[in-house]
Amino acid sequence: MKSQLKFYQTVPAVALFTGIILLVPFVAMQFTNEVNWSVSDFIIMGALLFGTGILFMLVTRLTQHIVYKVALGLAVGAAFFMIYVNLAVGLIGDGPHWGNLMYASVVLVLIVGVYLSRFKAAKLERAMYATAGTFVLLAVVALAANMQEYPGSSVVEIISINLFFALPFAVSSLLFRYAAMEQSNESDKASV
């Protein structure tokens, strides 16, 4: 009962934080024409921010292990930023095209991996490696499909953006490995 009370206390905090972040583009729109968000932009960004915040709050309640929480925060933050950048400007070139749509597969691999892991650190390590590997695979696919010829794209951009997003998931997997070893050591000590 007490954990439910804490959860219900965090929902308004996440909603308030989401509202404060959404105030930034709203205020900027009042002073410049450079920022031009539509109502749907605010709705999508609000849902993305709120959903990410609630997800992080829910999952971090599963353990008190700080390394596990850092690994989870890194993965959730990287996924959020990847989705945000892809929606805002695209990861490959400019505008919507199938090259940017293929990054939905990263989200799918991440969701399936997390679901299959049942939030166990050792299995989350594999899910994060699979997610990082998906970025590498997408870079290969993009270069094989000559997406470097898209307007606003290059070979260096495709490789660097995919490595930029693969890196946090690789680091997260290493942190989950460390958390799994720590949890294993703690359970061995408790059984003795």
In a shared domain, residues 175 and 93: yes
Rounded to 10 deg, the angle between the 121-144 and 66-88 helix axes is 30
User: Tell me, what's the pLDDT at 111?
Assistant: 94
- Given 61, 93, 111, which residue is the final one in a domain? 61
Residue 68 domain flag: no
Q: Is the dihedral of CA 180, 115, 158, 22 positive or negative?
A: negative
The DSSP result for 100-163, as a single string, is HHTTHHHHHHHHHHHHHHTT-HHHHHHHHHHHHHHHHHHHHHHHHTTGGGSTT--HHHHHHHHH
What's the pLDDT tens digit per position in 101-127?
999 999 999 999 999 998 899 999 999
Task: Tell whether 85 and 118 lie within a shared domain.
Answer: yes
Other beta carbons less than 10 A from residue 139's beta carbon? 21
Same domain, 50 and 110: no
Name the domain count of the chain: 2
Residue 162 lies in a domain: yes
Does the residue 185 lie in any domain? Answer: yes
pLDDT at site 178: 94
Residues 57 and 86 occupy one common structural domain: no
Tens of pLDDT, residue by residue, the chain (192 residues): 455 546 666 888 899 999 999 999 999 999 998 888 999 999 999 999 999 998 888 877 777 889 999 999 999 999 999 999 998 888 887 777 888 999 999 999 999 999 999 889 999 999 999 999 999 999 999 999 999 988 888 999 999 999 999 999 999 999 999 999 987 777 666 665
Look up the domain containing 47 and give its range.
1-61
178 with 112, same domain: the answer is yes
Query: What is the DSSP secondary-structure string of 59-106?
Result: HHTT---HHHHHHHHHHHHHHHHHHHHHHHT-SSSSSS-HHHHTTHHH
pLDDT at 1: 44
